[in-house]
């Protein structure tokens, strides 16, 4: 069986990928994660006696650690999920985004290049460096513009998006300059189990259950294309197995939704699953001050991955949202653990000033 070095595997998408990879016996996994606030080692507890899983706490910027790990574990592929991933945090404190997303990716690439250059020709040919990136690098679409394609010019608008764009350019450069067999995925908004509740969908689910305001930035008309996380994980594995080197793929859910509609759908599911007499969850909807530089619309054209590799999303939004809400309802100890002191500090930092412009729905 192959061995994948996964970075950032204690976060949302990485943990879903690792659990699926071990369940489906895709590969053995080494998980290198710094364990920032966004991580949840508890998500992977079920693998603690799994001989095909090995966890290392560390930073992708630590080139010595990465080099030693590569020499000792000799992985067949690296999948780079590690990143600072939340746009609002990048607006309030951009530095960590440059440090991890740009410099961290650079150090990981450099250690990978040195390791790869010493492999046998056969192993060199089989090796892959798969970089997980975002559709946000393409900037913002108007309601009528065509969806992002792989050749859409980069136009990032937030420090997060700019840092991911920088990392994508480095990955491309390592392929063009050194021949490192890289691949890049630019994906739309993921949702599903184990997402940290600073992101829209889990934040709304948990605020609603606690009868707290459901904050909608601006007028709630911004559009995102939502993809169920397991569909993304399957695409990642497929790209690793089947893609030609040097390719980039856009991945999305064919599922454009306005933020207000997403929040209303969550409220409707909760009205069904956790009804309260004389109360509708949507009564908690509260419009708040907009995100600076808020991208209006993301939409993904995923014809290339459909055509080249035969991938398409399996989950529709209704079934995916139901599964997601049921997961949060069934895992109260997970919820309690992530809503710790540091989480509360963030909520206060991000939402206090926004109250000024609050109005009820």
What residues act catalytically?
135-136, 160
Report which DSSP code applies to 84: -
Pick one of ligand NAD, ligand DAU, none as the site partner of residue 213 (Cβ within 5 to 8 A by kind): none
- Residue 7 interacts with ligand DAU (CB under 6 A): yes or no: no
Q: Is the CB of 27 or the CB of 188 nearer to ligand DAU?
A: 188
Say how many Å lie between the first and final Cα of the chain, rounded.
54
Question: What CA–CA distances, in Å, run from 301 to 84, 234, 275?
Answer: 25, 18, 38
Query: Among 22, 86, 89, 297, which residue interacts with ligand DAU (rule: CB under 6 A)?
Result: 86
Question: What CA–CA distances, in Å, run from 14 to 11, 237, 355?
Answer: 5, 12, 34
Q: What is the CA angle 198-100-28, rounded to 5?
A: 85
Site of tokens 């603690």? 48
Is 260 within 8 Å of 200 (Cβ atoms)?
no
Nearest Cα neighbor of 61 from 21, 13, 96 is 96
- Per-residue x/- marks for ligand DAU, 91-130, CB under 6 A? ----------------------------------------
- Per-residue x/- marks for ligand NAD, 50-69, CB under 6 A? ---------xxx--------
- Per-residue x/- marks for ligand DAU, 250-289, CB under 6 A? ---------x------------------------------
φ and ψ at residue 134, rounded to 5 degrees:
-130, 155
Q: Is the CB of 70 or the CB of 79 nearer to ligand DAU?
A: 79
- How far is residue 280's CA from residue 326's CA, in Å, rounded to a whole number? 18
Pick one of ligand DAU, ligand NAD, none as the site partner of residue 236 (Cβ within 5 to 8 A by kind): none
Point out which residues pair with 224 in neighbouring strands. Answer: 257
Pick one of ligand DAU, ligand NAD, none as the site partner of residue 156 (Cβ within 5 to 8 A by kind): none
- Residue 38 interacts with ligand NAD (CB under 6 A): yes or no: yes
- Per-residue x/- marks for ligand DAU, 198-237, CB under 6 A? -xx--x-----------xxx----x-x-------------
- How far is residue 165's CA from residue 240's CA, in Å, rounded to a whole number? 21
Report which DSSP code applies to 1: -
Is 9 within 8 Å of 32 (Cβ atoms)?
yes
Q: Is the CB of 224 or the CB of 265 nearer to ligand NAD?
A: 224
- How far is residue 34's CA from residue 361's CA, in Å, rounded to a whole number? 40
- Residue 186 interacts with ligand DAU (CB under 6 A): yes or no: no
Pick one of ligand DAU, ligand NAD, none as the site partner of residue 224 (Cβ within 5 to 8 A by kind): ligand DAU
Binding site for ligand DAU (CB under 6 A): 85-87, 134-136, 188-189, 199-200, 203, 215-217, 222, 224, 259, 291, 298
């Amino acid at each position: 069986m192959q061995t994948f070095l996964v970075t950032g595997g204690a976060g949302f998408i990485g943990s879903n990928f690792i659990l699926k990879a071990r369940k489906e016996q895709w590969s053995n996994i080494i998980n290198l994660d710094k364990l920032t606030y966004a991580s949840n080692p508890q998500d992977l507890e079920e693998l603690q006696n799994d001989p095909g899983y090995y966890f290392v706490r560390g930073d992708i910027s630590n080139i010595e650690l990465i080099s030693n790990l590569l020499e000792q574990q000799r992985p067949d592929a690296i999948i780079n999920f590690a990143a600072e991933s939340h746009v609002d945090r990048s607006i309030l404190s951009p530095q960590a985004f440059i440090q991890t997303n740009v410099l961290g990716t650079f150090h990981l690439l450099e250690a990978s290049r040195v390791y790869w250059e010493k492999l046998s020709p056969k192993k060199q040919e089989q090796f892959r460096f798969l970089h997980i990136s975002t559709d946000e690098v393409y900037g913002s679409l108007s309601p009528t513009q065509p969806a992002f394609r792989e050749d859409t010019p980069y136009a990032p608008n937030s420090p997060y998006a700019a840092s991911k764009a920088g990392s994508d350019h480095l990955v491309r450069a390592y392929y063009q300059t050194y021949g490192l067999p890289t691949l890049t995925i630019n994906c739309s908004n993921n949702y599903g189990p184990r997402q940290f509740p600073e992101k829209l969908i889990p934040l709304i689910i948990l605020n609603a259950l606690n009868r707290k305001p459901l904050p909608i930035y601006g007028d709630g008309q911004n559009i995102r294309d939502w993809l169920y996380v397991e569909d993304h994980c399957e695409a990642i594995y497929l790209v690793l197995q089947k893609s030609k080197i040097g390719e980039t793929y856009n991945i999305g859910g064919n599922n454009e939704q306005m933020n207000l509609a997403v929040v209303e759908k969550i409220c409707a599911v909760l009205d069904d699953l956790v009804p309260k007499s004389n109360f509708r969850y949507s009564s908690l909807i509260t419009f708040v001050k907009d995100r600076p530089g808020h991208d209006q619309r993301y939409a993904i054209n995923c014809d290339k991955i459909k055509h080249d590799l035969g991938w398409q999303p399996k989950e529709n939004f209704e079934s995916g949202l139901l599964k997601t809400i049921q997961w949060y309802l069934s895992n109260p100890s997970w919820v309690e653990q992530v809503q710790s002191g540091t989480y509360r500090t963030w909520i206060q930092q991000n939402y206090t000033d926004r109250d000024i412009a609050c109005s009820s729905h």
